[in-house]
Amino acid sequence: MAKIVIDGVEHEVNPDNNLLQECLSLGLDLPYFCWHPSMGSVGACRQCAVMQYRDADDKEGMLVMACMTPAADGAIISIEDEGAKSFRSEVIESLMTSHPHDCPVCEEGGECHLQDMTLMSGHNYRRYDKKKRTHRNQYLGPFVNHEMNRCITCYRCVRFYGDYAGGTDLSAQASHHHVYFGRHEEGVLESEFSGNLVEVCPTGVFTDKAFSENYSRKWDLQTAPSVCVGCSVGCNTSPGERYGSLRRTVNRYNSEVNGYFLCDRGRFGFDFVNNSDRLLEPVQRVDNTGELLADDQVKAFIKEFKADGTIGIGSPRASNESNFALRAMVGEENFYAGYSDVEHESMQVLLDLASDTAFHSPSVREIEMADAVLILGEDVTNVAPRIALALRQSVRNKAKDLADESRIPQWQDSAVRELAQHDLSPLSIISSAVSRLDDVASDRVIESLSVVAAMGHQIANKISASAPKADCSAAHDQVIEKIVEQLKAAKRPLIIAGNSNGSEVIRAAANIARALYDFKDNSAIDLCLLVPEVNSVGMSLMTNAKNPLGAALKKLHDGTAKRVIVLENDLYRRASRAKVDAALTAATKVLVLDQLPTSTTANADVVLPATAFSEHEATYINYEGRAQLSFQVHQCKKQAQPSWRWLCDAEHVDDLVERCCNEVPGLARLREVLPGENPFIAGMKVPRQSHRYSGRTAMTANVNVHEPKQREDKESVMSFSMEGMPAQKDASVHAASWAPKWNSNQSISKFQDEVNGELKQGHPGCLLIERKDSSGSYFKAGSDSIEPSANQLRLVFSYQIFGSDELSARSKPIQARMTDAYIGLSPQDAQKRDLRQGDVATISPLGSP
């Protein structure tokens, strides 16, 4: 630790950081623009100027930029010095010369970092009376608006988009005050992380286009801490609602999971909650028309389903509570998995591996620390996008080591990048198709699925002879040797695989990790196994290994089970059409609970409307085994209810959480995600609405002029009102970030232990999985008997960030980015079949699915 003096007060600081980081971590108000906690300093904006003194006798001092000055022991600085203050005010004056008077109509207003810093600087009078420079805007796609007149040239956008996220189609152009940030030509921004521009831009240049359709000021939005349901990473979000519709989603800082960034699927994929075809009323299908059901009728149905002979099919996209409620209702032995049988099999492998102390399931933050990565078979960018972003940071660990050797501080981002040039930590990808991470991969092998797995086994065997060999052509010997050496030499190697194409690749990956475990003398190896959905892990912990979906369908078909309850699931995505049709036709009664109509709800006898993720409190378990709590953001519409409420008598989500803890072995610690008992001041609730929330009574005045009764939230510690105390001490109940003088998302620094660090008393979720022993053994290398003959092709499923996830694919902005279903072929195979780019083809499955 170092000691520095700031305005006469001594502070202990970390000398590896710069002065700006330390001042902000200490809670001091020092303005800045171009510095970003995840992107380091460049010293461009000059906003963070402070006066530095050589020693106690130096009365004059020298202006330095806090973000570019190390917090060295003995430093004496002043933020309040008049010279520094007036300089900072002049910087704002410069930025304002061409800034348009857009505040009243600018979407950033109310959460605008430029507004905040302008006020903080004291500049308030325009002397500039010359012509302003203006720009033309570009069409950048359905997600992000472009309004360049507002630009203050902080360079954050291109640094995030290009340096951090690896995007290539956004650049800085021109010079002096004509600097322009845009695309080489108009068109959709290609990066999967383009949406973060709206949060990274400190003014209103890049704003949320989907939000613009139905805009609302930040202070008018009702928010609550939530979890994205788009994939199994479980990024933390803060959705905002107004007038009953979900308007937008912003990042909610979680030091272990998403940090400061989301992917575009999570940011723009919530709109399905607002769909006009939401299921909102209990309906019974009679002769192909739906008849509304009254409360007592529904109760009667539920009672019917409680009888013997009912089975339940769970859902990897439904919450733990809903899955559990169904399981409790039908009994554990009658609760079946809600994913495909292939996935079920792979999940069993995964669950076995989860209890093995040889492995550690790394958090996103830990993935950034890996110094040698092998991806086996999975397209990370499309399956778990946020992890792909983390991998792009992990390959920079080599650069960080080089910087350390040359004594360049880590936060001096440009210098670190310059020194390392293209020298990256190794990232090897062995899979069946080109991926969006290839540009940072040190080695890239494209092979058929069976060879991918075989290579995995070979790598494992070369690391530890105890691992089984596999038949693998010598063509890949060299790259295998290279990868083996890299993994062995790494301080923190990482193996990534997933179950989108069965479990053989997972077995190979596990073998590699186990081989490394043996090699490295028993220190747990990072093994990241990806699953597709937000609660695949949660549901799998509740499902008996002997209860795959196929068995459920069989039981219904042959009459062993008479009734089935399908929880938030479209079975036609999980099993073959023929089998699902047969099962549902054979069943005497089919009850389906869901949010949106699906092929399954179309074949149900009774459909009960379920609430969407933002309309109920829920817990989900991510790929790591991290349980996270998602609060209800807004009231559900009409008669939709959380599924568990239809199925059981529990009053509170907490009750179900408690039961999960007691009755499901893997969920014993689930209760730890609930907010603490009394962190709240004087028993007041945490408001979902800001203290500036407006229009409460005017909102409904067109229906009824009488002031509506304040809606009560009996469920949680939050209230559907402005009343209460925003959680200062318990960051787990902290949604939209705000602090006095800091209206924008930059205010998050007030809630962190230190910038980019943990939230003060934050709950980054709770790691549930307890590893017991490492008695596991190597998997046998499977022999893939499926080899395509002449006209046949081996199928590999290809995920897409836009379109593969069921719910987000029904959001309008996402649909604007989706493609048709397609079959990707090599040029030779296409030519053989006389197929051209863009032709329509028919695919026929071979063998029994």
Partner 1 sequence: MVTNPLTKNIDMSRPPLDITAYEANDGYQSVHAIAKGLSPEDVLELVKGSGLKGRGGAGFPTGLKWSFVPRGDNSPKQKYLVVNADEMEPGTFKDRLLMEGDPHLMLEGMIIAAYTIQASKAYIFLRGEYTVSEVVLRNAIKEAYEKGYLGKDILGTGFDFDIIMHTSAGRYICGEETALLNALEGKRANPRAKPPFPQVSGLWGKPTIVNNVETLCNLPGILTYGIDWYQGLAKGNDHGTKLFGVSGKVKTPGCWELPLGLPIRELLEGYAGGMQDGLELRGFLPGGGSTDFMLPEHLDITLDYDEIAKVGSRLATGTMIVLDDKTCPVGMVGNLMKFFAHESCGFCTPCRDGLPWVDQIFRDFENGEGSEKDLQILHDHVTYLGPGRTFCALAPGATAPLGSGLKYFKEDFEKHITEKRCSYKH
Partner 2 sequence: MVCIRRGIKAGTALLHCGDGNISPADFSGLIEVEKSATQTTSRGIGNLIVSDFHEEEINS
Q: Does 62 interact with partner 2 (rule: CB under 8 A)?
A: no
Would you give the distance in Å from CA 830 to the centre of its chain? 36
What strands, in cross-sheet order, belong to the sheet with 289-292?
A: 289-292, 283-286, 606-609, 589-594, 563-567, 310-313, 335-336
Per the CB < 8 A criterion, the answer to whether 355 and 772 are in contact is yes
What is residue 70's DSSP assignment? B
Per the CB < 8 A criterion, the answer to whether 347 and 355 are in contact is no
Phi, psi values for residue 329, rounded to 5°? -70, -45
Per the CB < 8 A criterion, the answer to whether 747 and 715 are in contact is no
CA torsion through residues 590, 596, 597, 600, sign: negative
Q: For residues 274 and 804, which CB has a smaller minimum distance to partner 2 in the complex?
A: 804
What is residue 151's DSSP assignment? -
Q: To 10 degrees, what angle do helices 477-489 and 504-519 make?
A: 50
Stretch that binds partner 2, among 606-614, 680-688, 774-782, 791-799 (CB under 8 A): 791-799
Catalogue the long-range contacts made by 1-10 (C-beta closer than 8 Å, 24 or more residues apart).
2/71, 2/72, 2/73, 2/74, 2/75, 3/73, 3/74, 4/71, 4/72, 4/73, 4/74, 4/75, 4/76, 4/77, 5/75, 5/76, 5/77, 6/77, 6/78, 6/79, 7/77, 7/78, 7/79, 7/80
Q: For residues 127 and 303, which CB has a smaller minimum distance to partner 1 in the complex?
A: 127
3-state secondary structure labels for all residues of 152-171: CCCCHHHHHHHHHCCCCCCE
Per the CB < 8 A criterion, the answer to whether 388 and 436 are in contact is yes
Q: Does 16 interact with partner 1 (rule: CB under 8 A)?
A: no
Q: For residues 49 and 571, which CB has a smaller minimum distance to partner 1 in the complex?
A: 49
With CB under 5 to 8 Å by kind, the binding choice for 131 among partner 2, partner 1, none is partner 1
Q: What residues from 175 to 194 belong to the interface with partner 2 (CB under 8 A)?
A: 188, 190
Number of residues that bind partner 1 (CB under 8 A): 42
Least distance CB 254 / partner 2 (angstroms): 28
Per the CB < 8 A criterion, the answer to whether 513 and 366 are in contact is no
Q: What residues from 415 to 444 belong to the interface with partner 2 (CB under 8 A)?
A: 432-434, 436, 438
Task: Quote the tokens at residue 750.
Answer: 């007030």
Q: Does 678 interact with partner 1 (rule: CB under 8 A)?
A: no
Cα separation, 526 vs 79, in Å, equals: 44
Binding mask 65-104 for partner 1 (x = CB under 8 A): ---x------------------x--xx--xx-xx------
Least distance CB 68 / partner 1 (angstroms): 6
With CB under 5 to 8 Å by kind, the binding choice for 188 among partner 2, partner 1, none is partner 2
Q: Does 844 interact with partner 1 (rule: CB under 8 A)?
A: no
Q: Does 839 interact with partner 2 (rule: CB under 8 A)?
A: yes
With CB under 5 to 8 Å by kind, the binding choice for 726 among partner 1, partner 2, none is none
Q: What residues from 357 to 416 belong to the interface with partner 1 (CB under 8 A)?
A: 406, 408, 412, 414-415
What is residue 119's DSSP assignment? H
Least distance CB 566 / partner 2 (angstroms): 15
Element (H, E) at 78: strand 76-78
Q: What residues from 22 to 61 belong to the interface with partner 2 (CB under 8 A)?
A: none
Cα separation, 786 vs 807, in Å, equals: 33
What is residue 709's DSSP assignment? P
Angle, vertex CA 163, rays to CA 157 and CA 166, nearest 5? 100
Bridge partner residues of 11 (DSSP): 4
According to CB under 8 A, which one of 395, 749, 800, 813 is a site residue for partner 2? 800
Least distance CB 43 / partner 1 (angstroms): 5
With CB under 5 to 8 Å by kind, the binding choice for 802 among partner 2, partner 1, none is partner 2
Q: For residues 402 and 446, which CB has a smaller minimum distance to partner 1 in the complex?
A: 402
Q: For residues 41 and 431, which CB has a smaller minimum distance to partner 1 in the complex?
A: 41
Q: What residues from 340 to 359 belong to the interface with partner 2 (CB under 8 A)?
A: 340, 342
According to CB under 8 A, which one of 12, 213, 404, 418 is a site residue for partner 1? 418
CA torsion through residues 662, 665, 669, 670, sign: negative
Task: Quote the tokens at residue 590.
Answer: 């089919």
What is residue 754's DSSP assignment? S
Binding mask 571-590 for partner 2 (x = CB under 8 A): -xxxxxx-------------
Burial string for 305-315 (b: 16+ CB within 10 Å, else e) reads beeebbbbbbb
**Residues 6+ away with beta carbon under 8 Å from 690:** 218, 219, 220, 221, 722, 736, 738
Q: Does 684 interact with partner 2 (rule: CB under 8 A)?
A: no
Q: What residues from 120 to 139 belong to the interface with partner 1 (CB under 8 A)?
A: 127-128, 130-131, 133
Least distance CB 245 / partner 2 (angstroms): 22
Q: Does 479 interact with partner 2 (rule: CB under 8 A)?
A: no
Binding mask 782-811 for partner 1 (x = CB under 8 A): ------------------------------
Cα separation, 507 vs 511, in Å, equals: 6
Q: Does 59 interact with partner 1 (rule: CB under 8 A)?
A: no
Per the CB < 8 A criterion, the answer to whether 198 and 189 are in contact is no
With CB under 5 to 8 Å by kind, the binding choice for 583 among partner 1, partner 2, none is none
With CB under 5 to 8 Å by kind, the binding choice for 64 among partner 2, partner 1, none is partner 1
According to CB under 8 A, which one of 3, 16, 62, 588 is a site residue for partner 1? 62
According to CB under 8 A, which one of 2, 302, 419, 818 is a site residue for partner 1? 419
Q: Does 149 interact with partner 1 (rule: CB under 8 A)?
A: no
According to CB under 8 A, which one of 19, 20, 49, 621 is a site residue for partner 1? 49
Element (H, E) at 3: strand 2-6
Q: Does 558 interact with partner 2 (rule: CB under 8 A)?
A: no
Q: For residues 544 and 798, which CB has a smaller minimum distance to partner 2 in the complex?
A: 798
Q: Does 276 interact with partner 2 (rule: CB under 8 A)?
A: no
User: Applying CB under 8 A, which residues contact partner 1?
Assistant: 42-47, 49, 62-64, 68, 87, 90-91, 94-95, 97-98, 127-128, 130-131, 133, 152-153, 155, 172, 174-179, 406, 408, 412, 414-415, 418-421
User: Applying CB under 8 A, which residues contact partner 2?
Assistant: 188, 190, 340, 342, 432-434, 436, 438, 446-449, 572-577, 786, 788, 791-800, 802-804, 806, 809-810, 817-830, 833-847, 849
